[in-house]
Amino acid sequence: MERILELLIVWPFAAFLIALFLPKENEKLISGFTFWMIGIHFFTILGLIIYWGTQGFHSVNLKEFSIYESHNMNFFIDFYFDHVTAVYCLVGAMLTFLVTTYSRIYLHRESGYKRFFYTILFFYAGYTLAVFAGNLETLFIGWEILGLTSFLLVAFYRERYLPVKNAFKVFSIYRIGDVGIILAMWASHHLWHENITFEKIQNYELVHHHLESHSMFGLFISVMILLAACAKSAQFPFSSWLPRAMEGPTPSSAIFYGSLSVHLGLFLLIRTMPFWEHQLIARILIGGVGLFTAAIGASIGRVQSSVKSQIAYASVAQIGLMFFELALGFETFALFHFAGNAFLRTYQLLVSPSAVSYLIREQFYHFEPKHENIETHFTKKLEYSLFLLSIKEYNMDELLDKLLWKPFKNLGNLLRFINIRNIYFITIPTFLVGVILQITRFNLPEVIVEVLPEIFALTGLFLVFRAYAGRRNVFVVWTLLVMNHFWVTLAISFNDALTMYEIIFHLAGVVIAGTLGYVVLWKMYKAEPDIDLNRFQGHVYEYPNMAALFLIACLGLAGFPITSTFIGEDILFSHVEYDQIFLAFYLALGFVISGIALIRMYARIFLGPHLKRYHAVAQRSS
């Protein structure tokens, strides 16, 4: 059975790699290949679950291999198969199979036909890896793949303004969730003193023993897990991104935001439930967030004019109820609820184009207004207030803008003095002074040595803020994002345990991705001297290969699991002490904001309506 489980995990990745080399002109071959790969995977899972049931439904844990191992950390890939994995895997395989079948005709003659199918395969590979994950590190790899494929599929119609803009918004919210899961992994390393697996946290005595003396640390981990789950599953205050994600094709909306990806936050909570279920405050927070989201999601959905937005907010409300059910301890009921909601929303989204035309016809011939509904029993003042709040979506976009994005942007604008000249004459010399201080740290007073890591990490964070607000010189923005990694590595190097090998391991990926990005930007500057970040320029039309290479460079620099930077970031966090909470926060925030800035660079330079007028330009509104 173990070998079959391994094959099921590897199968979607192999299908994705093969799909990259299929000729894009042959629609029948592309869709047929995807159909058969996912179909075989689905029926294999179905057969495996039947066989697993005959063996007594025993959980299976597979520790595959260690990617990196040192004296104080072990980054290993671990897989876990139990009833939760079985439900998520079976639902995911069946719905992806159905949506693939639907898409073969729906996307006929679309210019991005091949791009859609290999992105779906990559999404399915990430989803499979996430639901089979046996620890947070393995789950995070699948989590990141889902975030990237979400961005690519929302921006599928990349010649239009709104899909690209909303894709970036979705990716930004996902990165906020990444802060939560990164800090949860960091805190877990210090709580357990190992890379804990989901199988081990099923042991009540082990969890109770560790939480007994570290109750606040345990609550911090639970809150960070809740933050990640809320961002991924569109719970308050992140609910507004879900209807914006419906800019993609209907099949991707159905498979991502109706059924699978949007329920991954719930999966994270179910997986970690043995850890937080004995913490009353954590349960109250999870239940409160879920119940409040269910209430506002239902009210917002009732006033939406778009059928996709109605379905999106209906799904948000149901997932809120699932959070509440988990907080009450009804895990099995939440799993049934997930399966029912996933199938219903997929069906609703797939038939929504037809349903709209039917409803329009019904309005003309058979429309009868409801004489009584829930609002009839409200006072008029309350009814009008709820209506206005629902129309404005409870001002969630404005809340996030004021609390997150504008402060970051304003802080970056205050650092406008950081230009290309100051990078060479101030920032780099200051960094070299930091290196000298690191070498001579044994001769420095202990008080100064304790403060320097926070100072250097904060300096790197300021560089990221400046890059996030940068609009004109793309080379300055790219240089700042590369230098952030060097400042962060310098900050962590003051902890004695960090070795030179680990520093090189982390920075190797940074140097490779940074160099590739410089080469692409330089070639683009030679071909298009006016590239900047003030607007979407759509250069993917004329430079598709450059766009693909720059996306790879951005992902490598952002710590996506394609270079050693991904493992390097986890290595750096493993050397942050448990009492260095500010240092951990600076690192996590810097990595997340730099990822947003990198994807913004890619989107602004290569996506959106083409700036040259001899190309077809879509309207800004849809």
Is the per-residue pLDDT at 498 higher than 90? Answer: no
More confident: 568 or 87: 87
Q: How confident is the model at residue 622 (pLDDT cuts 50, 70, 90)?
A: very low
- What pLDDT does residue 375 have? 67
Percent of the chain with pLDDT over 70: 94
Q: What is the mean pLDDT of residues 227-247?
A: 88
**Contact call for residues 546 and 519 (beta carbons, < 8 A):** no
Pairing of strands 74-81, 60-69: antiparallel
Return the amino acid letter for 176.
I
Percent of the chain with pLDDT over 90: 25
167-176 confidence digits (pLDDT tens): 888 898 988 8
366-413 confidence digits (pLDDT tens): 666 666 666 666 777 787 788 888 888 888 888 888 888 888 888 888
- What pLDDT does residue 327 have? 93
Angle ∠(138,140,141) on CA atoms, nearest 5: 70
- What pLDDT does residue 620 have? 56
Q: How confident is the model at residue 132 (pLDDT cuts 50, 70, 90)?
A: very high
Distance (Å, whole) CA 126 – CA 148: 10
- What pLDDT does residue 268 have? 93
Q: How confident is the model at residue 63 (pLDDT cuts 50, 70, 90)?
A: confident
Is the per-residue pLDDT at 254 higher than 90? Answer: no
Residues with Cβ < 8 Å from 433, sequence gap 6 or more?
none
Give per-residue burial for 30-43: e unless 16+ CB within 10 Å, then b: bbebbbebbeebbe
- What pLDDT does residue 357 have? 63
Return the amino acid letter for 241.
W
Q: Give the relative orientation of helices 280-301 and 307-328 as an angle to the nearest 10 degrees.
A: 160
Helices (H), 79-112: 83-106
Is the per-residue pLDDT at 600 higher than 60? Answer: yes
Q: What is the mean pLDDT of residues 224-241?
A: 90
Residue whose C-alpha is closest to residue 288's, from 374, 363, 230, 353:
230
| Average pLDDT of the chain to the nearest whole number | 85
181-200 confidence digits (pLDDT tens): 888 988 888 888 778 888 88
Distance (Å, whole) CA 363 – CA 349: 21
Secondary structure tally for the chain: helices H, strands E: 26, 2
Q: What is the DSSP string of 153-185?
A: HHTSSTTSHHHHHHHHHHHHHHHHHHHHHHHHH
- What pLDDT does residue 256 have? 77
Q: What is the mean pLDDT of residues 18-44?
A: 90
Distance (Å, whole) CA 63 – CA 53: 22
